[in-house]
Amino acid sequence: MEFFKRAREFCKEVIVEFRRVTWPSRAELANSTVVVIAVTVVIALFLGGVDILLARVVERILR
């Protein structure tokens, strides 16, 4: 029974904390999503370029 009492208390505390959260507006969320996608694409292109460069270097070394 102690488990259920603690679980109920935990759920009440979670609800209280969710009421304190400042949720982003739809515009803020859209802007943040665009930034995350743009940064992900830039990093992917960078890592892809480094991978191709290192593969060519290793290929020349092994010849």
Q: Does residue 16 fall inside a structural domain?
A: no
User: How is residue 14 written in tokens?
Assistant: 């979670």
User: How is residue 13 written in tokens?
Assistant: 């505390």
1 pLDDT more than 90: no
Q: Does residue 2 fall inside a structural domain?
A: no
What residue spans of 1-63 are helical by DSSP H? Answer: 2-20, 26-62
Task: Identify residue 8 by its one-letter amino acid code.
Answer: R
**Residue 23, number of CB atoms within 10 A of its CB:** 7
Q: Does residue 7 fall inside a structural domain?
A: no
Query: pLDDT value at position 19?
Result: 92
Contact yes or no for 32/24 (Cβ under 8 A): yes
63 pLDDT more than 90: no
Q: Does residue 17 fall inside a structural domain?
A: no
Q: Does residue 61 fall inside a structural domain?
A: yes
pLDDT in tens, 4-60: 999 999 999 999 999 999 999 999 999 999 999 999 999 999 999 999 999 999 999
Per the structure, how many domains does the chain have? 1
Q: Does residue 11 fall inside a structural domain?
A: no
